[in-house]
Copies of this chain bind each other. A is one copy, B any other.
Amino acid sequence: MAEILSEKLTVVKVGGGVLEDVSSLAGFLDRFVALPGLKILVHGGGRVATKLSEQLNIESRMVEGRRITDAGTIDIVTMVYGGLINKKTVAALQARGCNAGGFTGADMNLIEAVKRPVKDIDYGFVGDVTKVNNEVLAILLKSGITPVMAPLTHDGKGQLLNTNADTIASEIAGAMSGLFEVSLVFCFEKPGVLTDTDDDNSVIPQINSTSYKTFKEEGIIHSGMIPKIDNSFDALQKGVKQVIITSASTLDLNSGTRISL
- Is A158 part of the binding interface, using a Cβ–Cβ cutoff of 8 Å? yes
Q: Would A86 and B82 count as touching, CB distance under 8 A?
A: yes
CB neighbours (8 Å) of A143 from chain B are 136, 139
Alpha-carbon distance A55/B139, docked complex (angstroms): 41
A side interface size, CB within 8 A: 39
Measured CB to CB, the nearest residue on chain B to A103 is B101
Query: Chain A: interface secondary structure?
Result: helix
Report which residue of A107, A154, A160 has the largest number of chain B beta carbons within 10 angstroms of its beta carbon.
A107
Q: How far is the CB of A55 from chain B (nearest CB, A)?
A: 6
Given A78-B88, A139-B143, 18 further pairs, Cβ under 8 A: A78-B83, A78-B84, A79-B80, A81-B83, A82-B84, A87-B160, A91-B106, A91-B158, A92-B158, A94-B106, A94-B154, A94-B158, A100-B106, A100-B107, A101-B108, A102-B106, A102-B107, A103-B107
**Copies of this chain per assembly:** 2
Minimum CB–CB distance for A82 against chain B, Å = 4
- Tell me the chain A residues, 28-83 only, with Cβ under 8 Å from chain B: 55-56, 75, 78-83
